[in-house]
Amino acid sequence: MQFKENGALASQQIKELIDKGVIILSSEPDDDQIQPASLDLRLGDSAYRVRSSFLPGKDRTVEECLDSMMMHQIDLSNGAVLEKSCVYIVPLQESLSLPIELSAAGNPKSSTGRLDVFTRLITDRGVEFEQVPAGYDGPLYAEIAPLTFSVQVRTGSRLSQLRIRSGVSSISDADHFELQNSQRLVDRDLSVEQVKNGVPVSVDLCGENSDGLIGYRAKRHSGVVDVDAPSAHRVVDYWEPLFANSKQLILDPGEFYILVSKEAVHVPFDYAAEMVAYDTLVGEFRVHYAGFFDPGFGAPEAGGQGSRAVLEVRSFDVPFLLEDGQNVGRLVYEKMLETPDRVYGQGVPSNYQAQGLKLSKHFSMD
């Protein structure tokens, strides 16, 4: 395979990388593991409780770091609970042997972010989280730190995903502005000055429905959430609803909130997007843990007209006042090398197409 152009790899190209041994799997792939612009990553057989988060640095492997950092090993083959406020390292079932023209990046899956499970990709000799350098040849690891809920996981659980890129795939400010005008990336008018380092996204603190529901705040002392059990947990046991109040919300440090964007978001079939998670220019808070948006998200032809971006919000250090319509993040778009043979909402199971304010798939109102 030759990759001479810039862009993110599509689903059919990811499958070809698996067939050619560029992506190496320790077991047969799951039927729905390949997404339109990413590959879901599966937990291996063991988790290692460590004293703290770490990066290996350019001279060490993750395994070498575990020799001094590990507190104990946990068998995941029959399921195990990863406790909140603890840090774990888990070898993944996928490894890479990338050619020099390909690099990759990790990100939590949408459902992982909405559970406030802080998950980051680590590589041997890595100097950055979530980044796989061009030509990397070696294993992949997940750092997992449940922050609000303890979670039950097992071998094969999928908490994160991998996007593979050829060259520099992100587009310029001018291209973002042109794409906004031609494809309506967000459903509001934007000036050229507003489209800078991506397309701005604001927060909705009015509520879509007559009841004025604007979001949820996580309860701090709840039960365990099984990451592989959709609709198995009652909302009332884990979340406190929040209602519109003067179009404002004060974020308390250390609390975790689920809110929603004011705009509907659209990702055209031949593009992918990523939410900038933390921008000190708009405030000391984080608005997104699971940043990847697949081709077809919110696309009317894929059944997604009106899809909002769910915001996973945590304030740092000090209380922070959010106001309705305030910009809280930016969507950075990138070109696909090819249009995927499956897009979000068509041919791929999608829990969040055509979404408004929505908790993760694990929760039921019953």
pLDDT for position 4 = 77
Strand partners, 160: 41, 108
| Residue among 143, 146, 135 at smallest CA distance from 112 | 146
Q: Are 202 and 340 in a shared domain?
A: yes
Please tell me which residue, 279 or 194, carries the higher pLDDT value: 194
Stretch among 91-95, 147-151, 356-360 having the lowest mean pLDDT: 356-360
Q: Within 13 A of 43's CA, how many CA atoms are on the CB side?
A: 30
Domain containing residue 216: 173-364
Domain boundary among 150, 166, 182: 166
pTM score, whole prediction? 0.93
The CA distance from 207 to 200, in Å, is 19
Listed range (156-160, 175-179, 290-294) with the worst mean pLDDT: 290-294
The mean pLDDT value for 254-271 works out to 94
- Indicate whether 366 pLDDT > 80: no
As a whole number, mean pLDDT of residues 53-80 equals 97
Residue 286 has pLDDT above 80, yes or no: no
- Please report the pLDDT score of residue 287 as a whole number: 73
Residue at a domain's end among 135, 166, 197: 166
**Which CATH number fits the domain that encloses residue 152?**
2.70.40.10
**pLDDT reading at 304 higher than 60:** no
- Domain presence at residue 145: yes
* DSSP bridge partners of 357: none
Residues 60 and 144 grouped into a single domain: yes
Residue with tokens 């934007």: 190
145, 273: one domain = no
Q: Does residue 267 surpass a pLDDT of 70?
A: yes
Question: 329 and 314, same structural domain?
Answer: yes
Q: What is the DSSP letter of 271?
A: E
Q: So what's the pLDDT on residue 347? A: 61
Is the pLDDT reported for residue 133 higher than 90?
yes
* pLDDT over threshold 70, residue 158: yes
What is the distance between the alpha carbons of residues 4 and 366, in angstroms, rounded to a whole number?
A: 52
Q: What integer pLDDT is reported at residue 285 of this predicted model?
A: 66
Candidate from 58-62, 173-177, 300-304, 361-365 with smallest mean pLDDT: 300-304
Would you give the DSSP letter of residue 9? Answer: P
Q: How high is the pLDDT of residue 351?
A: 59
Q: State whether residue 356 is helix, strand or coil.
A: coil
How many independent structural domains does the chain possess? 2
The stretch 189-210 carries a mean pLDDT of 90
In this prediction, residue 71 carries a pLDDT of: 97
The answer on 190 and 124 residing in a single domain is no
pLDDT, tens digit (0-9, with 9 covering 90-100), for 226-237: 999 999 999 999
List the helix and strand counts (H, then E) for the chain. Answer: 5, 27
Does residue 267 sit in the same domain as residue 353?
yes
Q: Say if 1 falls within a structural domain.
A: no
Q: What percent of the chain has pLDDT over 90?
A: 79
Q: What angle do CA 265, 268, 272 make, to 5 degrees?
A: 85
Question: pLDDT, tens digit, for every residue of 67-111?
Answer: 999 999 999 999 999 999 999 999 999 999 999 999 999 999 999
pLDDT at 72: 96
Q: Which residue has the tokens 């990100």?
A: 107
What pLDDT score does 349 carry?
Answer: 58
Nearest in space to 47 (alpha carbons), one of 125, 150, 138? 150
Residues 143 and 182 in one domain: no
Residue 78 has what pLDDT?
A: 96
pLDDT, averaged across the chain: 91
User: How high is the pLDDT of residue 281?
Assistant: 56
Report, as an integer, the average pLDDT of 36-55: 97
Residues with Cβ < 8 Å from 6, sequence gap 6 or more?
A: 165, 166, 167, 168, 169, 335
